[in-house]
């Protein structure tokens, strides 16, 4: 299900480290460079073979066209993460409604008694490999937590990652976030963990 009409996604977020705005098909080349640099991370994160080694810019453009349409229709919101000079894509941030099809068809197990419906959104993000090496993900998580609290009119949210993507698991736990749910998606070898 899409997010409700009352939810108006922010147009942008600008900090000294990052600039976020809705992704468009015109971002295909910059996004492709970040995706391909980070493909080993993304395969853990996605629990799939995406992106293939022979993935192309044109295939990436098709993916971004779909994400742009989803954003416009409030099915899910995707933001490109750029450097402050807007010269390089550093990664992406995705917000999905808690009843998105991929989540509705998953087996979700509460780890502490919380009910899945108590949160409106699932938030996923990744940064390119070179940024992970600089621990920019620590700063991005801090920025996102502030942005989600102050600029988004959400009835709660959860950060989601795959349990096999250990760097992000450690990131969330070092930030004091607690695993609230285990999410088993059909056909995926590793479970996802949702934190708040």
Answer whether 153's CB lies under 8 Å from 163's CB.
no
92-137 confidence digits (pLDDT tens): 999 999 999 889 899 999 998 889 988 999 999 999 999 999 999 9
Question: Has residue 6 got a pLDDT over 90?
Answer: no
Check residue 155 and give its pLDDT: 87
Compute the C-alpha angle 196/116/63, nearest 5°: 80
Question: Has residue 187 got a pLDDT over 90?
Answer: no
73-83 confidence digits (pLDDT tens): 999 999 999 99
Higher confidence at residue 155 or residue 107? 107
Instruction: Grade residue 44 by pLDDT with cuts at 50, 70 and 90.
Output: confident
Domain assignments of the chain as residue spans, ordered by start: 13-195
DSSP string, the chain: -PPPTT----S-EE-SS-EEEE--GGGHHHHHHHHHHTHHHHHHHHTSSPSPTT--HHHHHHHHHHHHHHHHTTS-EEEEEE-TTS-SEEEEEEEEETT-HHHHTSEEEESSS--GGG--EEEEEEE-HHHHHTTHHHHHHHHHHHHHHHH---S-EEEEEETT-HHHHHHHHHTT--EEEEEE-TT-SS-EEEE-
Question: Has residue 1 got a pLDDT over 80?
Answer: no
Q: What is the arithmetic mean of pLDDT over 21-46?
A: 95
Answer whether 122's CB lies under 8 Å from 95's CB.
yes
- Residue 158, token pair as written in the block: 């959860």
Check residue 186 and give its pLDDT: 86
Check residue 188 and give its pLDDT: 85
Q: How much is the pTM? A: 0.95
Question: Has residue 5 got a pLDDT over 90?
Answer: no
Instruction: Grade residue 2 by pLDDT with cuts at 50, 70 and 90.
Output: confident
Check residue 166 and give its pLDDT: 92
CATH topology of domain 13-195: Aminopeptidase (3.40.630)
Q: What is the arithmetic mean of pLDDT over 50-59?
A: 97
* For the chain, percent of residues with pLDDT exceeding 90: 84
């Amino acid at each position: 299900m899409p997010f409700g009409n009352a939810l108006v996604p922010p147009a942008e977020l600008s900090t000294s480290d990052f600039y976020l705005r809705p992704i468009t098909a015109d971002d295909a080349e910059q996004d492709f460079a970040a995706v391909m640099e980070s493909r080993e991370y993304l395969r853990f994160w996605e629990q799939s073979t995406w992106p293939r080694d022979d993935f192309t810019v044109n295939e990436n453009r098709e993916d971004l066209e779909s994400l742009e349409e989803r954003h416009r229709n409030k099915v899910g919101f995707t933001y490109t993460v750029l450097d402050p000079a807007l010269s390089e894509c550093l990664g992406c941030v995705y917000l999905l409604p808690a009843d998105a099809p991929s989540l509705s068809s998953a087996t979700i197990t509460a780890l502490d008694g919380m009910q899945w419906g108590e949160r409106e959104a699932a938030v996923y993000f990744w940064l390119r490999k070179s940024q992970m090496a600089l621990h920019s993900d620590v700063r991005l998580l801090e920025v996102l937590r502030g942005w989600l609290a102050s600029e988004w009119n959400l009835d709660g949210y959860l950060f989601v990652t795959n349990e096999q993507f250990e760097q992000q698991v450690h990131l969330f736990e070092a930030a004091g976030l607690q695993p609230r749910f285990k999410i088993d998606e059909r056909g995926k070898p590793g479970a996802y963990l949702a934190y708040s």
